[in-house]
Every structure is written in structure tokens, then in C-alpha cells.
Amino acid sequence: MKKTLLAAALLAGYTGTALAQNSVTLYGRITPAYVFESVKIDDNAASTTGFASGTYNEFSPKSGFVTGGGHFGLKGTEDIGNGTKIGFVYEMGSIDTQTGTGAGNTRLTYLSVSNDAWGTIHMGKDYTASSTLLSGISPVGTSYGIMSAEAAFGVFSVTAQNQIKYFSPSISGLTFGASYSFRGTGAAGVGEDSAGVIAPGDFGTSNQNRLMVAGLRYANGPLVIGGAYTQLNPNANGITTKKPKNWTIGATYDLKVAKLHAGYGQNIDGIVDQGSAVAALNGDSADAIPSNGTAGEFRTNQWLAGVSAPVGAAGKVFFSISQQRPGADLKDLKNDIGGDQTATMTNLGVAYQYSLSKRTSLNASYGYADNYGMVKGVSVNQVGIGLKHVF
């Protein structure tokens, strides 16, 4: 149960107008987990990665593996009249429950303005519009390691700084969403010195990283369809002339006894995901952009399919399979022994969730990946178990 920390009715003294109640709520998620991983690298993958061939095993604590990570935050709303509400979110994460690290990282921080007649606007660091438009398309979202939708798609859970996001009201189940993030790097980022001051000659919108997302979501009865287009315009300082793009579409259909999930998408002129090109929007070094897939004729095609279904009164089971296929120049990359560096990645797995209470659940999963990360000759087995507690 969420805890209300503050509730107050304020008076505007010189107008005599009573303002609506403003409440602030503390919320969060704690997610300890333990994972066994076995990674096999064959001779071809050894030449590609630089690691010795063989099988590497590890059993370790990995907070958030089965539930998407721990965090805590504050949020509040104020009704200012005429159907308009002001809200805020300040969320810290991702927090490693087992080491206590990560609390200094701000995960979300934005102000919102909403009205039932014209929609909602968010301003600040937030998930991109694609994260909402595609929500639920994957049966496990971003949980359970290599089962995660992010392993193949990369656009289901992306945050961006300095963002403006808009969502329209639902019209017969149809919603439009868009987001725009600009000057994505923080202090000492692209075009800035160590104090965060823009260097001479680097002033200008085109010299800043920009991330644009737009799409539609339709929800009516048992059917949900979502689609999003994402484009990254890197800064114009000679890092790359490419503008990586991603389009993804997916759907779910609820049969009551089970829910069906499916999605398909492409990366064009680069790989758009949280761990590569888009990372530059969150303050990472711009030099990382070419090495992560935006400096060549890179293309991928990816798809997923899955099922989620209740089991008994408190259980739920999930199955997911996804593939990511390299295209264009990615298919032609060779390693030092003349072998192919890349191959189609296939990820599959099954997970189980048992609710111990309304706020606490036990989670377990098994996942397998072939050519993980599209690196030919790398296979991974993962077994995880953990608890999730929300407040």
C-alpha cells in the first residue's frame, strides 16, 4: 500500500481562492534475486570477442533480474481547476538491493500537465513515448534477463533527458503519443567543457543529440495494438552522419485463459537501444556511438512471440521467444580467423510468478540464447529466482 506523506489544502491569501489538495506519495520496489549463468564461447566467438573459448559458469546475486530492478520515488498531483492537473515524479534507481548501490542515480524526474480534453504533457527525464506505446507487447517486459524484450528490440524501456512528451486523450480506444529529447547529454557532454559550458563553435541545435519518437496505440476490449517510430539525430560534430531509426509494431489479444503476444520491428542505419546509441542522450561519451552500431550500413530485423496465462488463484506463467537478425554490413563482418562475427540471435525462456500477497511475489525463470548479442558462437543459459516487493 502506498504511503501518503503529505496532504494539505492551501489558501491564496490575496485572492481568497481555495486551492485543491496537493498530495505527495512515496512508492518503490525492492527486488533481490539470485542467478546461475552458463556462457559458452566457441573458437569462432573467441576470435570475435577476444575471450578464450570454453564454458564460463557463475552463480551470483543480481538485484532486479526477475523484476526489472529496484527503485523508490516521490510523486504528487495538484488539481488547479478547469479539469487541469499538475503532477511530478522524482524517482531514484536502479537500486541494487543486495549491495545498496545505485540510489544516487535519478531514474525519472519530470513535471506533467494533464487535462481530459487535450491530453498530457511531460517535461524532464522520462521514458520515451515508445515505452508506453509498446507497453505489454512483450509477455515479460524488461524482466528475466535474456527473456527480456530489450534483448532483441531495445525500445521497450528507454529513458531520455531534456524530453517533452505528449499523449492525446483516447478516442474510441486510439491514442497518439510523441516525445522529443534534445541536448541529451549532461554536463561535460557533447559540445561542452568540464563545467557544462558550450564550447565556441558548438552552439546550435544541430550540434546536440536529439531523439524523436511518435506512434499510435489502440486498446479496445481484448485487443491491444501499438506501434512506434524512433529516430536518433546525433550531434553534427563529425561522430557519424547516420540517423539510426527503429520502427516496431506489436499486439496482444486476451483470451481470458491466456494472453497472446507478438511484435516485429527493424533497426535501420544503426542499432537503436538503451545500451548503445541512445546512451549518448543520457550523458555517456559520444565516442561510444560508432562502436555501438551507428557508423555503418547496419540493419537488423527482430520479432517476438509469447504467451502469458494465469495458473491457479495466485500464479502466472510466461513464455517468450524472440529473434534478432543482422542485415546490411552487419552480415559481412569477419573476425581474425575469417569467420562470421554475426549471426541470428534466438532467445527463449519460461518464467513463473507466484503472488504471496498483493505486494509481494516470488519469481523464477529459465532462459536460453543462441548467438547472444548476434555474436556467432556465443550461447547462454540462465536460471534466476527472486522476490519482488512493492510499496
Please check whether residue 9 lies inside any domain of the structure. no
Residue-level pLDDT at 292: 37
40-44, 230-234, 347-351, range with the lowest pLDDT? 230-234
Residue-level pLDDT at 259: 98
Residue-level pLDDT at 235: 66
* Integer CA distances (angstroms), 151 to 87, 255, 273, in order: 32, 27, 9
Q: What is the pLDDT of residues 83-115, one digit of tens each?
A: 999 999 999 876 777 776 765 667 889 999 999
Q: Does 70 or 348 have the greater pLDDT score?
A: 348
Q: 236: pLDDT confidence band, cut at 50, 70 and 90?
A: low
Residue-level pLDDT at 356: 96
149 close to 304: Cβ distance less than 8 angstroms: yes
**pLDDT beyond 80 at 327:** yes
Q: What is the pLDDT of residues 42-62, one digit of tens each?
A: 999 888 888 899 999 999 988
113 close to 82: Cβ distance less than 8 angstroms: no
Please check whether residue 19 lies inside any domain of the structure. no
Q: Which residues contact 82 (CB under 8 A, 6 or more apart)?
A: 115
Q: What is the pLDDT of residues 128-176, one digit of tens each?
A: 999 999 999 999 988 898 888 777 887 888 888 889 999 999 999 999 9
375 close to 49: Cβ distance less than 8 angstroms: yes
Please give the single-letter amino acid code of residue 209.
N
State the CB neighbour count (10 A cutoff) for residue 170: 15
**pLDDT beyond 90 at 36:** yes
Please check whether residue 21 lies inside any domain of the structure. no
Q: 344: pLDDT confidence band, cut at 50, 70 and 90?
A: very high
Please check whether residue 247 lies inside any domain of the structure. yes
**pLDDT beyond 90 at 241:** no
**pLDDT beyond 50 at 368:** yes
Structural domain count of the chain = 1
Please check whether residue 338 lies inside any domain of the structure. yes
Q: What CATH code is carried by the domain that includes residue 62?
A: 2.40.160.10
Q: What is the pLDDT of residues 279-325, one digit of tens each?
A: 333 333 332 222 333 445 678 999 999 999 999 999 999 999 999 99
Please check whether residue 23 lies inside any domain of the structure. no
Return the half-sphere exposure (C-beta side, CA atoms, 13 A cut-off) of residue 338: 0
Mean pLDDT of 314-338: 90
Q: 200: pLDDT confidence band, cut at 50, 70 and 90?
A: very low
Owning domain of residue 258: 28-187+206-390
Among 306, 276, 303, 302, smallest CA distance to 367 is for 306
Q: Does 82 or 66 have the greater pLDDT score?
A: 82
Please check whether residue 20 lies inside any domain of the structure. no
Q: Which residues contact 182 (CB under 8 A, 6 or more apart)?
A: 162, 205, 208, 209, 210, 211
* Integer CA distances (angstroms), 91 to 50, 106, 109, in order: 38, 6, 6
Please check whether residue 235 lies inside any domain of the structure. yes
Cell numbers representing residue 381 in the block: 543459459
